[in-house]
Structure 1
Amino acid sequence: MENKTHKFISASYELYSIEYGNEVLIEKTEENRPLTFYTGCEMALPEFERIAMETAAGNDFAFDLAKGQAYGDYKEENVLDLEKAVFSHEGEFDSNNVYVGAMIPLQNQEGQRFMARVIDITEDKVKVDLNHPLAGKELKFKGHIIENREASEEEVKEFFEKLNSHHCGGNCGCHGDGEGNREGHCGCHGEGEGHGDGHCGCHGEGEGHGGGHCGCHNKD
């Protein structure tokens, strides 16, 4: 990790999407589980991090994010049809974990991790959406900074060592009470949360179901 100045941020917030000029509440923190993260570690959306750093503890904040400052445009090419066999073990489909609406982890040949949402299941295909759930949306954050302090390099290093020891997936950037939560909606994103390029050719770390299809499968 680079030698840089970090801050520890703790904040409560409400997140809205802007739809036809109206604010639609998406989520809010629970009173006993604020958002906590370290700056300078690519854990938060850049604009979210900048405003949080500039807001003193005890003060409120409110700001809008355009699509380009948040999760970008919704891309149809990020919707994939995968062979159902990809999610099967010994010929049996993993219906306990793979169902319409489920968020499932995938991994490509470069080791990049992707969170995908299952949007349809047919007789031989599973359709997944690798777009971030908030892709294509303008967002508004309203919140309150509970804590804003300098954090040492040692503190940040210890945090990431603890994080890695828990084998956290793409949601680990933003957490409360030591656990990863949500899917990056809070303005944070883990390094595993790739909703961009390189989706085809995904595979898991154990058994590969490559063949002639996309090669993605659920990462155990």
Structure 2
Amino acid sequence: MTEFFAAHGSDLIYKTGEHLYISLAAILLGIIVAVPLGIALSRVPKFADRFISLVGVLQTIPSLAILAFFIPFLGVGKLPAIIALFFYSLLPILRNTYVGVRDVDKGIVEAGKGMGMNTWQSIIKMEFPLALPVIMAGIRLSTVYLIGWATLAAFIGGGGLGDFIFDGLNLYRPDLILAGTIPATILAVIADRLLAVLETKMTPKGLRESYKTAA
């Protein structure tokens, strides 16, 4: 173990940073696109079901195929890896945002309108906060998935912990495979826990209390 860190310690730190960069860039793009889109789709439920089903088709395409698809357009490296992972992040966030906002108690929404709130104010002050636990569940799921899938970025020269895994497979070195697998797993667990804490902090206090009572 000591010999491994002496030989690969600096590379491990660098590759972990690359892995985080690729994963977080993809998930942030997913949030920026999918959350507003999910809120907008909640206004047109008949179209939303068809659209979300179409996006779901993306999840059935093998991740390596998606990565390879972008090579002719974007070349190799981190950018095509981030774009490919971004497509994989969309469905859980989009679906959870749509369902979360759609299922907000209509009585609360009507009460807000009765107080003079317009649609935008209703979304920002009531619907989004009340739907936040469901939205965050989608973000957490996407984040965990993407941190695992980001190992495939090495396939197109994107770097990250996947480099260790691919080198280990090519050289028949289990230690290199573990050097890529274990940190990626740890990153996924830490990210999930941090997002759980963030979800708790962002959820309105009254809603948190109701969840505790229900539990």
Q: TM-score, normalised by structure 1?
A: 0.24
Q: TM-score, normalised by structure 2?
A: 0.24
Which structure is richer in relative contact order (CA contacts within 8 A, separation 6 or more)?
1
Task: Compare the two structures and name the one with the higher helix fraction.
Answer: 2
Larger radius of gyration: 2
